[in-house]
Amino acid sequence: MLSEHQVIQERRSRSMDLIRDLITTRTEMLILYSRLAAFKSLEGNRDMLEVLEEFCETLIDYTAAAHFRLYRYIDEKMEKRKAVLDVAESIYPRVVKTTEVIIAFNDRYDDHTQDLSAYDLSDDLSNLGEALAERIELEDRLIDVLSASKREPDIRPVLNS
């Protein structure tokens, strides 16, 4: 049987693994975003289409890493720290809104069989970039509290006496 300390350490280790995975995927996505933003035109640019395809895949991987791993970890009550739960609850609605922007971008550009010349990739990347900046700021708030080295004490009994 694991002691309470061992259980806490195991949970902390899992949350740190989730953070590392998220940051790795985020970094890969941002590198591809930068490469994609450097292209001037969609038309007839095979290299750009390859980067666009890889970017869309990585963008969805990154989004899924946050939603289906990090938030599931919190939602399934694996996380017990009140500060983490409070931050997760406060940022989640805004994270969902950024997810909608990400999905819309992916839906527009993931299908390379359609004529993409009608779209303004530069404007779409700009809008996506704003959503990603907000999402990263929100995730970093959550990462900061997840990375806190000590479990916060529950001071409610002291406050209620």
84 domain residue, yes or no: yes
Give the total number of structural domains in the chain: 1
75 domain residue, yes or no: yes
Higher confidence at residue 6 or residue 87?
Answer: 87
Q: What is the CA radius of gyration of the chain?
A: 19
Q: What is the mean pLDDT of residues 146-159?
A: 54
160 domain residue, yes or no: no
Determine the distance from the C-alpha atom of residue 58 to the mean position of all C-alpha atoms in its chain, rounded to a whole number. 11
Could you report the per-residue pLDDT of 14-39, keeping only the tens digit for each?
778 888 888 999 999 999 999 999 98
User: Exposed e or buried b for every residue in 97-118, given b needs 16+ CB within 10 A?
Assistant: ebbebbeebbeebbeeeeebee
39 domain residue, yes or no: yes
36 domain residue, yes or no: yes
Distance CA 111, CA 130 (A): 23
At 84, is the pLDDT very low, low, confident or very high (cuts 50, 70, 90)? confident
**Segments forming the whole domain that contains residue 71:** 4-155
Could you report the per-residue pLDDT of 48-61, keeping only the tens digit for each?
889 999 999 999 99
Distance CA 78, CA 35 (A): 37
161 domain residue, yes or no: no
Handedness of CA 30, 32, 35, 38 (dihedral sign): negative
34 domain residue, yes or no: yes
The amino acid sitting at 71 is Y
21 domain residue, yes or no: yes
Determine the distance from the C-alpha atom of residue 36 to the mean position of all C-alpha atoms in its chain, rounded to a whole number. 19
CATH of the domain at 85: 1.20.120.1370
DSSP H stretches of helix in 38-155: 46-64, 71-75, 82-109, 121-146
